[in-house]
Structure 1
Amino acid sequence: MAAVRVRQHVNPLSQRYQQPLALPDWSTVFADPTRPLWLDIGCGRGYFVEQMAQLERDAPTATRCGNFLGVEIREPLVEQANHRRDALHLTNLHYLFYNANVGLRALLDSLPLGTLQTVSIQFPDPWFKKRHQKRRVVQPELVADLAATLPPGGEVFLQSDIEAVAQEMYDRFLAHPAFVRQGPLWLPDNPLPVMTERERSTLARGAPVYRVLLKRQPD
């Protein structure tokens, strides 16, 4: 399948994206839907979770999860990513066209109980203009929804190449009593076995990446 040209910025608050979409039957999506799940919010073209799913298949102890779900608001990217998944015969990977700003709680409630273990939000759209910052993906409602679903010990990994964006994400998670930071702020190295394309390109030009790992603590 040829590369898809899509808009770089999609307004999650536009009327077009306000209705939560139909959710799949997870037993038809994953070969074993009961395995621990990694959710990547705003997965873009999906290469990060694709590589994580491949790594889990080849070295099961390397990723801490068994199934991988990428959520993305740009539908053409989701279609292309699922086409690649099928070509690779990855039965532990799925991509979902979905607006996390609107329907995240419905998505989380649909997952097999207790499976969500790790959430990553990496290099989200910064929406630099002040009047647009309400479009940023990490809002207090998203944090509360994740707190209600992640079990104690579940992890959230955040990173951005924009310090103000990373700081805002971190502050919003830390403002919720369910989350505590693991390690320093900011992590000097990526603790994950796979880097996103944006992270590689940022490091290649000598720019910093701001990373933080949080854990869901017991109530």
Structure 2
Amino acid sequence: MGRVRVRQHVNPLSDKYHRAITFPHWEDIYSNSAQPLHLDIGCARGKFLLKMAPLYPETNFLGIEIREPLVIEANKYRDCLGLTNLYFLFCNINPFLNSLLASLNSDVLQWVTIQFPDPWFKYRHLKRRVVQPELVDTLAQYLVDRGTVFLQSDIKIVAQEMGERFLEHPKFEKQHSENWLSENPFSIATEREIASLNKGKSVYRLLLKTSNKPISLSQE
């Protein structure tokens, strides 16, 4: 299967990425749609999930990617491997996250990973970054108690901003005392993580969990 060539970045604010989406019937996608779900936002070619899914058959995996050719390619690999606990969805996550999660079984979302998202360095492009306050609010609503969020980037300011936005929300707590998590908590690394480490670059990681502590009126 040949490697698909696509643009590295696409503008998520473009009208073409805000058109209505019809979500699949998840019971037709997963052999058991009630299993715990791991959501990988910005999954690129899906190599991380294609390796994770066979290792954890009692977890369903859902990869979200805004570049449609990569989604088509990843689902072809999934089909070749015969994986019934994995699916890749072409989606601009920010405008559709709430409706996506509402379409799934309730109380299944246990893990969320956001790994090496597009940095969008220019100030006028900051609204294109994937981790926006609305995304954090929605994940806080749907993640189970003690649900896990794992963030990583090889660009420190991007990792800092992602972490700040999650930790500003009263439902999220950092799970390590040091500024950055030294090791990836998952057994599989992404292609970007491997490439960054091979180049001697630092990788900035954060592990967070949802808290079941009540939110005081002063925090609302």
TM-score with structure 1 setting the length: 0.95
Residues in 2 aligned to 1:134 and 1:7: alpha-carbon distance in whole angstroms: 19
TM-score with structure 2 setting the length: 0.95
Q: Output aligned runs, 1:34-183, within 5 Å.
A: 34-57=34-57, 66-183=59-176
| Secondary structure of 2:56's aligned partner | helix
1:19, 1:102 within 8 Å by CA — same for their partners in 2?
no
Counterpart code for 2:136: V
Residues in 2 aligned to 1:191 and 1:30: alpha-carbon distance in whole angstroms: 25
1:160-179 Cα distance to aligned partner (Å, 9 max, x none): 00000000000000000010
Q: How many residues are treated as equivalent by the alignment?
A: 212
Unaligned runs of 5+ in 1: 58-64
Residues in 1 aligned to 2:108 and 2:147: alpha-carbon distance in whole angstroms: 10
Calculate the aligned-residue CA RMSD, in Å. 0.9
Counterpart code for 1:167: Q
- Pairing partner for 2:206 from 191, 203, 212: 212
| Secondary structure of 1:28's aligned partner | helix
1:115-134 Cα distance to aligned partner (Å, 9 max, x none): 11000000000001111111
Unaligned runs of 5+ in 2: 215-220
Residues in 2 aligned to 1:20 and 1:115: alpha-carbon distance in whole angstroms: 24
Residues in 2 aligned to 1:180 and 1:20: alpha-carbon distance in whole angstroms: 34
Counterpart code for 1:176: H
Q: Show structure 1 runs of 4+ deviating over 4 A.
A: none
